[in-house]
Structure 1
């Protein structure tokens, strides 16, 4: 039997400003699967192993909530008086024998009693009953009486189930669904304390009660009085459960944000980390800059109070909300000393690095510390074992996940961080190849695409891996397994091969793939002309200087880069030539701005080129790049990795690239037309005879 819950998951590379609600996306999960593995986990785990994994990273903050909301969390256990062993056996055996021999129907009281007694038994006693056929009938009969349980009996049954996980099996599915339905029907009559208590008990079982959680969140959304009655600790508690199911009604999330703005000063940094993580998991970006500023101001007072979980969670929400606070990053810069970075695990380091890169904030010393930590962890000896064994045997603080490798590689590359002396490229490539060899990337194929895309930005093209991901079977696997479809990365990777790898003979993207690319991926020149600051003014000045619009052309030269280029052709004497206007390409729905040689055309279309003949007359091709703020490192005249890759490819296509940086555009905005012309004359004087 299947149950449905609607969830939405975010992408870590490019935060999307969207809100999540129960109508976002449909995921179908079974209770049988939920028993062995929480929703979203690919590797089956017993509830006990699930507890251990959750406590290691994040659940401590949940368990450390204030006393008046610590109902049934991981560090709390209700004290139950144990019966003597003989008495426990007698109660259990009597009920099981009645079920097996006499096919007796049980009543709610008996079902509650046998589970309560089982919860007091030692593990050895529980193991004895694991394979008892009577328990299959017990679960079946228990499902029939679940609706007749009183509220007190319902709580006892749920609490008992959290302590007898060793007896869980597929036969308990009906009981869980019955109890879930029962809780959902009764939640309207419960107060806030009971609502959160029941949710806590379900959480302790590592099972998501789909009907109950949806009913509870809808109740808090609709009933404003019930929501207003929440205390501050209960508000934090409710927010945790919103994150636990990865979504909630949009209006409820907005109400939570409003309440948090008023009480954020009363929360500890652990609780702030908890709510930030919960809202991030719900794909909810905080809209209130006031709330984000209060969070930043409170945290930056003393970063030493932050644990790894809280700091990473706050950074996630800042990144997802697109909120940049200079004072926060300045304080964080001082906090991240070499000694502190050495104490962090790679999960935290990858999040720190991605956050810095998302805001284009670069510090050479900090990024060197990140890279050194990665290299030291990667040097730990490892065995080529199956992926499932690797996850179970290797502690996450010792080994990096493929997700962490992809994040860190993207962050270091995006910031154009120089790593030649650190041997970063060789180590990163070795890590990626080893994860492919062990089969880990088969579980997460989209992370392999991210890794190859980052390596390509660094000018590294492992042909065997590229041919693998561009194969038909692997493209199908990516579409089926990825949380987001990395079409943009694939498009850039394939186009880069055509320009930079003339000896590559492996797989290429099929034409049908390129035909289906939306404008958001391929870009439009009209949008560039309207959106890019200073581009229109520069074009007008160049037109006046060169003698007309026929001597310049604004198009994206390379199809897999969206940013526009101003193209100028000059002869060997430096005199401008008319630029032939391009026409729309059927494959990419773009204009190729210049006449293409056979080499260029074959490379872009995925065919092996023939040797290019030297032209009879040496003409020069110039590409003037008007850079935006998002194309450079913050407050520096340093190109980001993707834009550096574009300039490298333009040079391979025979262009001389002239860069106009954002600070220069700002200065030209307040200049006269004559001053702009003088600036362009000086910048182009080595190539054009004015």
Structure 2
């Protein structure tokens, strides 16, 4: 055991020698926490790659001593002599991962202190681009090739290079970059070059730093230590560094390719872009936006988003069609809401037939999804999108089609031409999507059916597939971020109302119970807390009609939004208790009711802003709810959001008068004689 411990400490010491600082301006590595593995053959240095993981115990408790920690100054009298003494014993079984860095103190620069990320940064959760260039998607390669079009790369060093004999710290930066051009893999020898390069960061220009990163990326060299050191160094020195627009775009690319930056650096990047906004091309801005989106980082500054939107409209002819969908993702993700912008952008896309530039529906889908996400309607744009889907020669991913149809339903694109295109697309789905695809991606099937049902389209064959026990088992087992319980409940109830002839597979009683158990937290009380207009309206009507003549409930339980129900007997010309005359939630049962009955059942629907688009039109859920209520025989009284928002702010008498006015209009008669003459109570 003593021999093993001695070997571990010896290995840690050798690793510390390899990772020591070679510049006289640099402080030594004080603490090294070393690990090794028996699996990998490639030498890996993660000396500063703590951007994606939490801190080690050594970082959290720097005063705690461990058998693998080497204390004290690790510098030797000669870097060259130290390199010669370093021996690569058991290189296949030992991978040294340095968990700490050092401070860089350069002239007129603040200290490079952040080689070790603080514990709070373990919470940074961000997606990264594929590290290996041979596994990167096409758009990543396209972006990098464009960014490198004006970069000047040094000529690679020819012939073998003996890293053991080389005094790397005596070579110039350009010579080191030439050596880097020849590196194709990471091992003990080439690791020395990588370490030498990141030690040079304090003396390199911005372009040199980024060019080294580009070299490693193009050569598919996974130099984690260099990329992490680069990001951390720039985070520390950002205020003192100058970036051209192209360099800023390249920096953003490498941040998202090899790690992530602190929130403060991302905000600093936004500030710097704002300062030099006029110098950026539309394509550069689109690339930066997309890279932010890939890292799940919103653009925080509305001023920057607004400038990007205005520049897009002014310079629309300059943007590469490949990059526009990327920009749309960020506008959606950052929740940029500007009705005039989206209306003008849609007009521009239609006028220039811009959608013809795209070869697949995956790119077109982002336009539909963005408009539905920001809740801005544009019927002409959606007509063009649906026609492209209908006429597409190459059938795209089922996921893309599902999102397009879901977006169409959400924004209620129900013109005659829209419905024709949707039916044509639906037929393509029947012909080209296999049963295996439905079973493998049932959540996409749910999205497609949801979009169609919002427009009162119910393809019975696809519902039969969805409610097939094997498919339904997968849907019920989806992860929390993809769960579809609410949609299944909606489908089951909506089929009874709007498609009563459906006789295929349905939810079993046990499955219904399971879904309702999940939805039990979405109660009437919770909804009324979020919708502040309901309680004042209910109180005003109770004061006018009496407590027994007003009912507040989920009239349609699959929508989980509260409405107020009242009932009026036309023959007796008085209000009756609504609880005694509620209609069944089934179109078939409703049809068998005595049509001679003179009871008018009224639903006062207090609309909220979240139920409508930003241009004032009902979204799919609200549109579907009103349609289903009317199908069951209810008379729907729509109270616009602008009016409903006033109810909590005004006195009860005013609210009561407004509500009675709506009721009079809906019934076509004056019901004032039924108002109880009693003093107004306070809310």
**3-state DSSP of counterpart to 2:375:** coil
Distance 1:541 1:515, change over 3 A: closer
Bigger relative contact order, structure 1 or 2, given CA contacts below 8 A and separation 6+?
Answer: 1
1:614, CA displacement in angstroms? Answer: 4.1
Aligned to 1:648: 627
The correspondence for 1:300, drawn from 290, 309, 313, is: 313
1:62 aligned onto 2:147 = yes
- Residues 486, 519 of structure 2: 8 Å contact kept: no
2:568 pairs with one of 567, 570, 574: 570
Give the 3 Å change call, closer, same or farther, for CA 232–676 of structure 1 in structure 2: same
Cα contact 1:273–1:311 (8 A) shared by 2: yes
Residue 468 of structure 2 is aligned to residue 455 of structure 1: no
Map of 1:364 onto structure 2: 379
Summarize deviations over 1:105-161 as a string: whole Å, max 9, x none: x96579x9xxxxxxxxxxxxxxxxxxxxxxxxxxxxxxxxx9xx9988985676456
- Residue 685 (str. 1) matches residue 664 (str. 2): no
Deviation at 1:475, TM superposition (A): 5.3
Structure 2: state its 5+ residue gaps.
1-38, 41-45, 54-119, 675-683
1:549 is aligned to 2:547: yes
Match of 2:426 in 1: 429
Change (3 A) 1:352 1:28: closer
Residue 374 of structure 1: CA displacement?
A: 2.2
After superposition, residues 205-604 of structure 1 pair within 5 angstroms as: 205=219, 213-221=227-235, 223=236, 225-226=237-238, 228-233=240-245, 234-244=247-257, 247-345=260-358, 346-377=361-392, 380=393, 398-421=394-417, 423-437=420-434, 439=436, 444-471=441-468, 473-474=470-471, 477=474, 484-502=482-500, 503-508=502-507, 510-511=511-512, 513-514=514-515, 517=518, 523-532=522-531, 534-545=533-544, 547-571=545-569, 573=571, 575-580=574-579, 597=584
Distance 1:239 1:59 in 2: 11
User: Which is further off, 202-211 or 192-201?
Assistant: 202-211
**Alpha-carbon distance in 1 for matches of 2:189, 2:258:** 19
Q: Distance in 1 between matches of 2:268 and 2:523?
A: 38
Contact 1:528 1:564 in 2 (8 A): yes
Structure 1 gaps, min length 5:
9-19, 39-49, 73-77, 84-90, 96-105, 113-145, 163-171, 381-397, 582-593, 604-608
Q: Indicate whether 1:23 and 2:123 are aligned.
A: yes
Q: Relative to 1, partners in 2 of residues 1:301 and 1:200: Cα closer, same or farther, differing over 3 Å?
A: same
Following superposition, the deviation at residue 272 of structure 1 comes to: 0.9
Supply the RMSD in Å over aligned alpha carbons: 4.6
Question: TM-score, structure 2 length as denominator?
Answer: 0.66
Q: Work out which of the residue numbers 204, 219, 237 in structure 1 matches 2:218.
A: 204
User: Structure 1 residues 483 and 624, CA, compared in 2 at 3 Å: closer, same or farther?
Assistant: closer
How many residues align? The count is 543
Q: Cα distance, 1:243 vs. partner?
A: 3.4
Q: What SS is found at the alignment partner of 1:292?
A: helix
2:113 matched residue in structure 1 = none
Over 3 Å counting, the alpha-carbon distance change for 1:26 and 1:314 in structure 2 is closer
The structure that has the greater radius of gyration is 2
TM-score between both structures, scaled by the size of structure 1:
0.66
- Residue 333 of structure 1 deviates from its aligned partner by 3.7
